[in-house]
């Protein structure tokens, strides 16, 4: 095993996949004893080949951050927090959380899953153990301030929310990026390390890159063409592209014609959106829309890629659907250089059940108690969280467990949410820091540092540009007596199951293994189809923990050894012996076998999409009007709200500014370097002003994730960063009604000198 090596100087090198964003870069970490002395990109990493960004390189600062929590904290009557032992902490959780369940039932408990645990083994393999005993859990995730519309569109189209087409950037000759800034975000629902080089590669091969964004972003500046678009007009723009393809006889689905259902319905839908009708709303001339459609159709291979700018808006689901409509109409879905599905090593939904057919999904199986919002993909909108806590009556949320979330900064209407969180009978936070949210918690259970736990990005590889598998063992051991994150989750699962604070974690873990293996044994085409689960489980060994679950997933996955049915196939041991990862090659066509829809087709004409036509038509007038609207902004040295405590990421000029177009600045008396108050219907914030024509006229941009310095938090560095919380401008009333996702972009604001 070559996962780390020690030299005579006492230095050793370890390799680890970065877990901070979706790019999955390999890091080479140099240690002296348990001290990290250097971090750099791992040149031998099969996927990232040496690339790493400032955030990945700052893992040393995170690991050694004195503010990072190492012991559990319990809130005292005066609101301050006191360190306790782990047993004391879980006893307190049992008293409070168990108390709520005993008095009000499991329906009074809700969960909130934030972004980072979507990348951890605990989050991806163990959280279901926490939810299961709650029955029909009241589940909130950051999906509904992020990708939920795309998840819903994919679930309706392909049968599962994680079946997401990936733009095959490395082989495409035409890339249309809409509402994403991968040069800064490093890709989302698209794992592609060093995406800058990959996008440059499209152009070097003679291809074309087009960016459609209300801001001339870093990605836009590296593209062949950039078009400003009025925020929120994306569905209109995409429908007009589809309209042009169909009207001008350019649609050429090819082999997809036999694989999709509803092409005629699509034709009817987009008939209402000729470019000439929507150009004013989009602020893109009709001739340009037509030209873009023709170029998309003419490219030998093209991919349309839409991300958060197209999802956190009123037509998020419809826009996400139309992205795939274009990929189908141009014949690019499921072909090299187009938009492709992955074959992830750890398996996943496209390897469960019957190949090519499934139950599909239903929305609205239940509704939120207060405003009657439909459940979508098992979740309720985050915009409902505060009201569900505040409103008395049967089913009121009285306890909340957050898993790696900072809703106080990341969610709409933070003031109201804070009041609601304070009123809970029990708030438990699994987190790394005492921050804006966790300072309100009754109990904080600190997760290990990323370097103290094993890693494999179960969630991200299914949207990777290549079929990659990379496992990282812990770089440094956990302090004795400290639970790993998966053990924390299982102890919480034990508490909500009524097993008390000292439940048998190994037994709960074994149950998860059994569930996984038994499910696979029932799946048609599984390598263990029809086999006795016990015999398979015995082959996995006794050692509890995520490695065993991961080993099972890998062995049951498309490259796995199938527990004997495919000798020489992938196992976790094979990954352990490959510290720089294994590359199973570029994406390969997967239709129709990856589908899990009732029809066995790509359900392009699903009624949920078609029913949105009138609403979309009605939006045209509103979008034609003037007035300022707000968009967000990310930057390379931020990760949502939570990495500002690392000095190398926090230093430098104020980044939490409002960027205003020069014309708008003049009209409002705003000057570069001055200060302004940004006001919406929901609230107001004061920030510095940057005047720049990188935003289109009528659009102002403020980043999210700022507004640190709350009393009671322990963020010595971030507290000095300042900035304001842009979500104070976001109300809880504006949603994409199909998915329940908050409208974070394109709503009206006013900006005035402070």
The answer to whether residues 336 and 207 touch, using CB atoms and an 8 Å cutoff, is no
* Stretch of 23-31, 111-119, 249-257, 381-389 lying at the interface with ligand SF4 (CB under 6 A): 23-31
Stretch binding Mo ion (CB under 5 A), from 141-149, 445-453, 468-476, 661-669: 141-149
> In the window 525-584, what residues touch ligand MGD (CB under 6 A)?
none
Least spacing, CB of residue 199 vs ligand MGD, in Å: 12
Between 17 and 520, whose beta carbon lies closer to ligand MGD?
A: 17
Dihedral, CA of residue 377, residue 594, residue 461 and residue 309, to nearest 10 = -50
Residue 182 touches ligand MGD, criterion: CB under 6 A: yes
DSSP code, position 320: H
Q: Closest residue (Cβ) to ligand SF4?
A: 56
When CB distances are held under 5 to 8 angstroms depending on the partner's kind, the choice from Mo ion, ligand SF4, ligand MGD, none that residue 194 binds is: none
SS3 assignment for 339-392: EECCCCCCCCHHHCCCCCCCCCCCCCCCECCCCCCECECCECCHHHHHHHHHCC
Query: 471: which 2 tokens?
Result: 């496992």
Cβ atoms of 626 and 696 closer than 8 Å = no
Closest among 352, 282, 370 to 557, alpha carbons compared: 352
Is residue 313 within the footprint of ligand MGD (CB under 6 A)?
yes
Footprint on residues 195-214 left by ligand MGD (CB under 6 A): 212-214
- Binders of ligand MGD among 364-423, rule CB under 6 A? 403-407, 410
- The reply on whether position 62 binds ligand SF4 by CB under 6 A is no
CB of 75 to ligand SF4, least distance (A): 32
Terminus-to-terminus CA distance in the chain, angstroms?
A: 61
Instruction: Classify residue 354 by burial, with Cβ atoms within 10 Å: 0-12, 13-18, 19+.
Output: middle
Q: Among candidates 409, 389, 487, which has minimal Cα distance to 125?
A: 487
39 is an interface residue for ligand SF4 by CB under 6 A: no
Contact predicate 556/572, CB 8 Å: no
* Nearest-approach distance from CB 20 to ligand MGD, in angstroms: 8
Contact between residue 52 and residue 18 where contact means Cβ atoms under 8 Å apart = yes
For residue 25, the partner it binds in ligand SF4, ligand MGD, Mo ion, none, with Cβ less than 5 to 8 A by kind, is ligand SF4
- Closest approach, Cβ 57 to ligand SF4, in A, equals 7
- Is the Cβ–Cβ distance between 312 and 319 less than 8 Å? no
Is residue 146 within the footprint of Mo ion (CB under 5 A)? yes
Window 188 to 247, contacts with ligand SF4 (CB under 6 A): 193
Residue numbers 412-431 binding ligand MGD by CB under 6 A: 430-431
Question: Which option in ligand MGD, ligand SF4, Mo ion, none does residue 307 bind, with CB closer than 5 to 8 A by kind?
Answer: ligand MGD
CB atoms near residue 504 (< 10 Å): 12
SS3 content of the chain, % helix, strand, coil (to 5): 35, 20, 45
Q: Are strands 208-212 and 225-227 parallel, antiparallel or unpaired?
A: parallel
SS in 3 state form for 98-127? Answer: HHHHHHHCHHHEEEEECCHHHCCHHHHHHH
Residue 459 in contact with ligand SF4, rule: CB under 6 A: no
Residue 20 as a binder of ligand SF4 (CB under 6 A): the answer is yes
Q: Which is nearer to ligand SF4, 46 or 286 (CB)?
A: 46
CB-CB neighbours of 237 under 10 Å: 27
128-167 residues in contact with ligand MGD (CB under 6 A) are: 142, 145-146
Which letter does DSSP use for residue 464 in this model? B
Minimum distance of Mo ion from residue 178's CB (angstroms): 17
Tokens matching residue 434 = 């005492």
Binding region for ligand MGD (CB under 6 A): 21, 114-117, 120, 142, 145-146, 178-182, 184-186, 188, 212-215, 217, 229, 231-232, 234, 307-310, 313, 403-407, 410, 430-433, 435, 447, 485, 631-632, 634, 636, 638-642, 704-705, 726-727, 730, 744-746
Binding region for ligand SF4 (CB under 6 A): 18, 20-21, 23-25, 52-53, 55-56, 186, 193
Binding region for Mo ion (CB under 5 A): 146
């Amino acid at each position: 095993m070559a996962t780390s090596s020690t030299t005579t100087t006492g230095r050793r090198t370890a390799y680890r996949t970065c877990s901070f964003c979706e790019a999955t870069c390999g890091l080479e970490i140099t240690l002296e004893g348990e001290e990290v002395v250097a971090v750099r990109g791992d040149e031998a990493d099969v996927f990232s080949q040496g690339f790493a960004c400032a955030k990945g390189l700052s893992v040393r600062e995170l690991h050694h951050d004195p503010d990072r929590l190492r012991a559990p904290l319990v809130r005292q009557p005066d609101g301050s927090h006191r360190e306790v032992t782990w047993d004391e902490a879980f006893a307190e959780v049992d008293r409070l959380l168990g108390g709520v369940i005993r008095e009000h039932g499991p329906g009074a408990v809700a969960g909130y899953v934030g972004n980072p645990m979507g990348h951890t083994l605990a989050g991806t393999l163990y959280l279901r153990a926490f939810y299961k005993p709650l029955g029909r859990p009241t589940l909130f995730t950051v999906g509904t301030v992020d990708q939920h519309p795309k998840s819903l569109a994919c679930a309706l189209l392909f049968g599962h929310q994680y079946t997401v087409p990936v733009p095959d950037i490395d082989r495409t000759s035409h890339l249309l990026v809409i509402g994403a800034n991968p040069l800064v975000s490093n890709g989302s629902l698209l794992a592609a390390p060093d995406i800058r080089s990959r996008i440059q590669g499209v152009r070097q091969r003679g291809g074309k890159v087009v960016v459609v964004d209300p801001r001339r972003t870093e990605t836009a500046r590296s593209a062949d063409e950039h078009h400003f678009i009025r925020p929120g007009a994306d569905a209109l723009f995409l429908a007009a592209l589809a309209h042009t393809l169909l009207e001008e006889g350019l649609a050429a689905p090819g082999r997809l014609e036999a694989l999709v259902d509803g092409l005629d319905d699509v034709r009817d839908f987009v008939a209402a959106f000729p470019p000439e009708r929507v150009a004013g709303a989009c602020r893109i001339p009709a001739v340009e829309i037509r030209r873009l459609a023709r170029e998309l159709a003419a490219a030998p291979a093209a991919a349309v890629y839409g991300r958060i700018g197209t999802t956190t808006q009123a037509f998020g689901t419809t826009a996400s659907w139309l992205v795939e409509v274009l990929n189908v109409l141009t014949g690019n879905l499921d072909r090299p250089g187009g938009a492709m599905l992955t074959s992830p090593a750890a398996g996943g939904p496209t390897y469960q059940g019957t190949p090519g057919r499934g139950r599909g999904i239903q929305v609205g199986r239940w509704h939120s108690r207060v405003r009657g919002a439909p459940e979508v993909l098992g979740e309720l909108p985050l915009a409902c969280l505060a009201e569900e806590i505040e409103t008395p009556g049967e089913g009121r949320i009285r306890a909340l467990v957050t898993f790696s979330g900072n809703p106080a900064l990341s969610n709409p209407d933070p003031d109201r949410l804070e009041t609601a969180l304070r009123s809970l009978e029990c708030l438990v936070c699994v987190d790394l820091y005492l921050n804006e949210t966790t300072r309100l918690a009754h109990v904080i259970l600190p997760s290990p540092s990323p370097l103290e736990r094993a890693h494999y990005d179960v969630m991200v590889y299914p949207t990777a540009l290549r079929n990659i598998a990379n496992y990282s063992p812990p770089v440094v051991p956990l302090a004795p007596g400290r639970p790993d994150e998966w053990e924390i989750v299982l102890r919480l699962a034990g508490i909500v199951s009524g097993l008390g604070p000292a439940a048998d974690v190994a037994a709960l873990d074994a149950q998860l293994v059994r569930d996984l293996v038994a499910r696979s044994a029932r799946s048609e085409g599984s390598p263990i189809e029809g086999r006795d689960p016990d015999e398979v489980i015995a082959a996995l060994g006794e050692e509890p923990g995520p490695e065993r679950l991961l080993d099972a997933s890998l062995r049951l996955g498309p490259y796995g050894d199938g527990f004997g049915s495919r000798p020489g196939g992938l196992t976790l041991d094979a990954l352990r012996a490959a510290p720089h990862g294994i590359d199973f090659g570029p994406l390969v066509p997967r239709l129709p076998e990856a589908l899990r829809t009732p029809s066995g087709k790509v359900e392009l004409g699903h009624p949920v999409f078609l029913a949105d036509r009138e609403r979309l038509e009605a939006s045209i007038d509103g979008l034609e009007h003037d007035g300022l609207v707000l968009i967000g902004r990310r930057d390379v040295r931020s990760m949502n709200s939570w990495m500002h405590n690392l000095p190398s990421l926090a230093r430098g000029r104020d980044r939490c500014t409002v960027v205003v177009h020069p014309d708008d600045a003049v009209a409002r008396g705003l000057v570069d370097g001055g200060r302004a108050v940004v006001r919406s219907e929901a609230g107001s914030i004061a920030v510095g002003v940057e005047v720049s024509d990188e935003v289109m006229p009528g659009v102002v941009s403020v980043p999210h994730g700022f507004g640190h310095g709350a009393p009671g938090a322990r963020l010595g560095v971030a507290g000095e960063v300042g900035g304001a919380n842009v979500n104070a401008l976001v109300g809880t009333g504006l949603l994409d009604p199909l998915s329940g996702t908050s409208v974070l972009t394109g709503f009206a604001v006013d900006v005035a000198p402070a």
